[in-house]
Amino acid sequence: MENPFSVEKTVRPTFLTVLCILTFVGSGWGLINNLFQLVMFTPERLVAQIQQITNMAGAEAQPSWVSSIMSSSLEVLQTTIMHGKAIYSLSALCAVISLIGAFMMYKLKRNGFYLYAIAQIGQLFILPIYSGWNSVVLISMAMSGFLALVFIILYGLNYSKLKY
């Protein structure tokens, strides 16, 4: 005879647990890194990087695609000098939202999936908003976007296991 007072406990899939742990590590590291960058932000450090890239560019004749990437890198660094605090703050905020979403999915809450997806997609557009669309930004977006898309798809595979 079954116990009528027993509550059926839902079990979190192992795959979802692994994804959440990977997100805790990745987004946690992103949060720590962005907070560190925010606290330690000094334009002088970026000016030194700009001088280093400028010296590399003038050292020898290089193919046009290399000089294009170097000039795009200079644009990104100059933008970071002007808007560094905003860029690092927004990136840290996206990392926090991503962590909250992953924690909610760890607790099998469906809204966590939406928070996570919004944070990952939003984080992709922080740098283009401030730096514009140059080759370095596009390469960075492509690499980060690919990883974000993979994780969103993998979380989506577990979407049916999440509850309202």
18 is in which domain, residue-wise?
Answer: 14-161
Residue 4 lies in a domain: no
Residue 24 lies in a domain: yes
Q: Which residue has the higher pLDDT, 41 or 118?
A: 118
Q: Which residue has the higher pLDDT, 58 or 148?
A: 148
As a whole number of angstroms, the distance between CA 147 and CA 153 comes to 10
- pLDDT of residue 2 exceeding 70: no
Residue 111 lies in a domain: yes
Least confident of 3-12, 27-36, 139-148: 3-12
The string of DSSP letters for 2-57 reads: --TTPPPPPPPPHHHHHHHHHHHHHHHHHHHHHHHHHHH--HHHHHHHHHHHHHHH
Residue 1 lies in a domain: no
Split into its structural domains, the chain has a count of: 1
As a whole number of angstroms, the distance between CA 151 and CA 147 comes to 6
Q: What's the predicted TM-score (pTM) here?
A: 0.79
**pLDDT, tens digit, 9 for 90 and up, residues 15-64:** 999 999 999 999 999 999 999 988 887 767 767 766 776 676 555 666 67
